[in-house]
Every structure is written in C-alpha cells, then in structure tokens.
Amino acid sequence: MLKKYFPSLGVILAIVAIFIGLPHFYDNQSFLFNLMLYLALAEGLNIIYGFTGYLPFGYVGFFGAGAYGGAIAITLLHISPLLGVLVGGVVAVLTGVILIPLLRLSGAYFAIANLAASQALYLVVANPSLEKITQGPYGIDLSSVYNANAGYFAMLGVLVFAMALVAYLRNSNFGLSLLAIKEDRVTASLAGVNVIRARSIAWMLSAFVAGMSGAVFGWYTAVFYPSTVFSLDVSVFTIVFVLFGGIASVAGPLIGALILYSMYNFIGISTPQYFQLFYGLLIVLLVLFLPDGVVSLLKKGKVYVP
C-alpha cells in the first residue's frame, strides 16, 4: 500500500540532501534560500492549479498575508519566530477562507478575481491609515529576531511539508478526486466527490504553504516592504516555473523552479528585462508547443514521473 509513495519519497529525500549538503560547498546561502522558497511556492501553487485547474494569479496575496501575519505576530505578540511562521500560514489560510467564494468562478474569471483580491489586500496593507498595525508603506523591521541559519532550515521544513502534501495528492484517492473535479466537475460530483469541500481544502492547503513561505521569507530577510511581498512577480515566477516543469506531479514544479530560477539568478538578475522578455517568450512557446511542461517529454518516453 505504501509502496506507491516510494518514488515521491525518493524525490523528497534527494531535495533534502541537496539543501543540507550544498551549503558546505557553495556559500551563497541567500540564493539557496530563495531557490527553496520558489520550490515551495511552486509546489504550493501546484496543489491548487495542478490538481484542480484553478489558476491563482493572486497567489502572492497569500505570500504577503503570511509575511505580514507572521511579522506582526512576532513584533506585537512577541512570540518566537518559528511560531510566527505557523501564524503566517494560518493568516494565509484565513485569507483563503474569505476568498473561498471566488472558487465559484471558472477559468480566467477566477484568475482575474484572485489577482484583484491580492491587489486589494496589498493596497489595504500598504495604506498609510493602517500605519499603527502594518507600518503602511514603510515596511517591517524584524532585525531583532534575525537568524539566517534558523530561517534557512525553517524554509527547508516548509519545502518538505509542501512536497509531502503534493506527494500525498499524487498518490491518494483525495488527489484523484481533485483531478476528477478538474476534468469534469459535474461527473465528479455524480461519482460521489464532494466538489465544494474538496476544492476548498486544496485551496486552503495551497494558501497554507504560501503563507508559511511568506512568513519565513520575512524572518529571513528581516526588513521588507509591502511592495516586495505583494509583488506580482512572485505569482508570475511561480506560475511560469510550474507550467515549465509540468503540473500535478511532485517532480514537475521542482524541475521547473530549479532550472528557471537558477538561470534567472546567474543571467538575469542584473538586467531583469532580459528575463522578462525571455519568460514572456517562454510562456508563449510553452502554451503553443508544450502545454504540459517538460515532464510531459519524460512521460512520452514512458518514464514514470513521481
């Protein structure tokens, strides 16, 4: 029964080994941190987009909600940063609960409404009239609890959690029922799937991952602004990584994020426009020629993708 989890488990262990081992040979910790961050976000987005087909253009809303939720809990309630990470996840889930009605919209309408919701959240958080709580546009300072190594391993923990969730969905009946909803909602409900419950759970799990990632990001960076943690780029990067790798598997989003984020870091960081151009063209070409991502090539070669 548990045997079907072995390939996914192998992938997870490999990733853990990489991120524990690599700091000994490669000293750019912040690059490795950001790479893990995007791996976790890609898996989180995979939960909702890969398994249910809802494309969350405002995924960054959860990320920002988590970053702010965690940071405010740490500064105002004086809790430990690790607990703050959990609070960040919970705040994102609560945001997700408020947005559950959006799941009534289909396809592109959902995507745009979600984008609007994340922008609205950004404008609320950054609003000068809320300066007492959120510091408005002036950003958050967490330097009193700054601890780079602890943050690094917290991020690894979130990443493992995200991968484990996807591994569960990839191999369980629940994941299968989500895929059935994506394929045909009416048929799935006739076959006994509780559509509304299932998609809401997927939505909240996805929000939880993004929220915890946001909170760890806030802790690790120590100083951040609303424009950083609500930047549309976070959604865009994550979506491109997932599309490039391939949806609804553990390995797909990991492959996409590993390849593209490394490229971005080594080529594009000095002149982001080159990368914007490259990403734009990549999206167009992917949609036209490889809509199922890189892993679809492996599947064509009869290789099992965990």
Positions that interact with other proteins (CB under 8 A) = 53, 55, 101-113, 115-117, 119-120, 123-124, 127-129, 185, 232, 236, 239, 243, 273-274, 276-277, 279-284, 286-288, 291
Closer residue to other proteins, CB minimum distance, 22 or 116: 116
Closer residue to other proteins, CB minimum distance, 118 or 171: 118
CB of 139: closest distance to other proteins in angstroms?
18
CB of 203: closest distance to other proteins in angstroms?
13
Phi, psi (degrees; rounded to nearest 5) at 219: -65, -45
CB of 285: closest distance to other proteins in angstroms?
8
CB atoms within 10 A of CB 266: 9
Q: Are residues 60 and 113 in contact, defined by beta-carbon separation less than 8 angstroms?
A: no
Closer residue to other proteins, CB minimum distance, 32 or 111: 111
Closer residue to other proteins, CB minimum distance, 21 or 137: 137
CB of 188: closest distance to other proteins in angstroms?
13
Closer residue to other proteins, CB minimum distance, 11 or 239: 239
Closer residue to other proteins, CB minimum distance, 10 or 137: 137
* Residues contacting residue 68 through CB under 8 Å, at least 6 positions apart: 91, 125, 134, 140, 214, 218, 226, 229
Closer residue to other proteins, CB minimum distance, 110 or 152: 110
CB of 233: closest distance to other proteins in angstroms?
10
What is the identity of the amino acid at 299?
K
Tokens, residue 32: 């490795």
Residue 292 CA to residue 280 CA, distance in Å, equals: 17
CB of 1: closest distance to other proteins in angstroms?
33
* Residues contacting residue 246 through CB under 8 Å, at least 6 positions apart: 252, 253, 255, 256, 292, 293, 294, 295, 296, 305
Residue 295 CA to residue 93 CA, distance in Å, equals: 30
Closer residue to other proteins, CB minimum distance, 108 or 269: 108
CB of 187: closest distance to other proteins in angstroms?
14
- Judged by DSSP in three states, 54 sits in coil
Q: Are residues 44 and 166 in contact, defined by beta-carbon separation less than 8 angstroms?
A: no
CB of 59: closest distance to other proteins in angstroms?
14
CB atoms within 10 A of CB 78: 10
Q: C-alpha distances in angstroms, 165 versus 33, 45, 120, 238? A: 20, 12, 29, 17
Tokens, residue 56: 């969350």
